[in-house]
Amino acid sequence: MTVTAHMLFVASGFAVTALAAARLARGGGSDPFATSWGRALVWVAAAGVAYQVFKLETWLPFLGEAALPPSALSPSEPQNASKSVTVECPRGTKYVAYWAASQKASVFASPKTAYASFENSGVATVVAGTATLRLACPAAYRVPYAGVLPKHVHYRFVGYDGIMSRVHTRKLAC
């Protein structure tokens, strides 16, 4: 689903729930929960809202699909790469673009400092359905309200048509 479709879905769920609540508050008409159709409609709307509310892409749409001309990418890896991560790729994937926090013995204070120069990033070519991401062992970093995030790498699959997948994350042990 596109971002617009997500937002319409969320908005329609809120609207149905709000209409049912308003009808109850007015005291006019019949109770929307008294009929099986009314209950079913409210449950479906509530489930749709709950589903969308808990999806990261609803609130952070940049984590979802995006487009990038494949000609803008060329295979590369960090100079101090010592770790290899193999990723199974969906059919039609040309490259895997990846990035991780910089290498450091201690924990970074924030994501901004951890990814400051994006020196621990690269582009891997897909061969026979897999890509090998070569990177330096990243450091962990602190995130407000969530604490310390363990070492991990983010990546996106880039298709021959330039459509990039949502952001994937894999925890690392190094």
- The rounded average pLDDT for each run of 10 residues, N- to C-terminus, in the chain (174 residues) is 54 62 59 66 77 63 72 90 96 95 93 92 96 96 89 95 92 92
Q: 94: exposed, middle or buried (C-beta count within 10 Å: 0-12, 13-18, 19+)?
A: middle
Predicted TM-score of the model (pTM): 0.68
d(CA 140, CA 134): 18
Domain boundaries, the chain: 3-61, 66-171
